Amino acid sequence: MGFAADITRQVRAQYSMHFSYPPGQPLQLGDIVVPDAGTWTVVGNLAKRAGVSIDVVEDPTPADWSPSATSGCNIETKAAATLDPKFKFVAEAKAGVKITLNDKNAFALAMKGARFRRIADVDEFWDHVRGEVNKWTWDLRRRIVTSVTDVESMTFLASAEGGSSFELEAAGSPNVSGLQLGDISAGFTLKSTMSANDVFSSLAATPLFRAHKVKLLGPLGTASVASGDVAWEEQGDLGDDEA
């Protein structure tokens, strides 16, 4: 399994949602996504293509929601106006954080200000789309994005190599004592260098989503229908979220 595929698999295991990789990839409700080497690539938007609007609802924060996720991560902190030999890139006058990813294909994800939006009624949305488009071929690998998690800010670190370290410098002089992974979602700048196998992103994004598969209905059953020959009017309801 490749690096990106392994990272997305690990995040999905912790959140039961797909992870949008690379981080910062624009993502909207109604987007059409296809699998690409273990990740998902946006190839269009179903609502825009059909010319229909989407009724959106925003759900409350789930009780089990966590603003951070990690695998193989170690965090060290440095207070402002202190000299710490473990920090080579953060200025002496600044507070900082050093994150070491100990394992291969390890990651650290911190998010702030999450919003949980979804299509209000997937079946109704599907009926509107089907009513506007008379005939359209469909690739069986495609999924429809029906639920997204947007965040005000996000910091994402990952490395294909074990032992990679990232030094982040705080914008001000915060109290870093007791700092948790979720606290680095905003206000920190990467100061250390990275190898070609490292990834760092800090931005507002839509990192998590759920996507539904289109179920095909034909006289010989779903599996017998060739993807290149499927007429739009032959397609049935959207199925459950799938990896």
d(CA 7, CA 166): 18
Q: How many domains does the chain have?
A: 1
pLDDT tens digits along 39-88: 999 999 988 888 888 999 999 999 999 999 998 889 999 988 888 999 99
Mean of the per-residue pLDDT values of the chain: 84
d(CA 12, CA 207): 11
d(CA 133, CA 136): 7
* Contact of 164 with 197, CB cutoff 8 Å: yes
Q: What is the pTM of this model?
A: 0.86
* Contact of 199 with 225, CB cutoff 8 Å: no
pLDDT for 229 beyond 50: no
pLDDT for 206 beyond 90: yes
User: In the chain, helix, strand, coil percent, each to 5?
Assistant: 20, 40, 40
d(CA 145, CA 29): 5
> Please, which residues bridge with residue 168 across strands?
97, 190
pLDDT for 219: 44
Helices of type H across 133-214: none
Q: Which domain holds residue 224?
A: 3-60+68-241
Q: Which of 218, 223, 224 is nearest to 236 (CA)?
A: 218
pLDDT for 116 beyond 60: yes
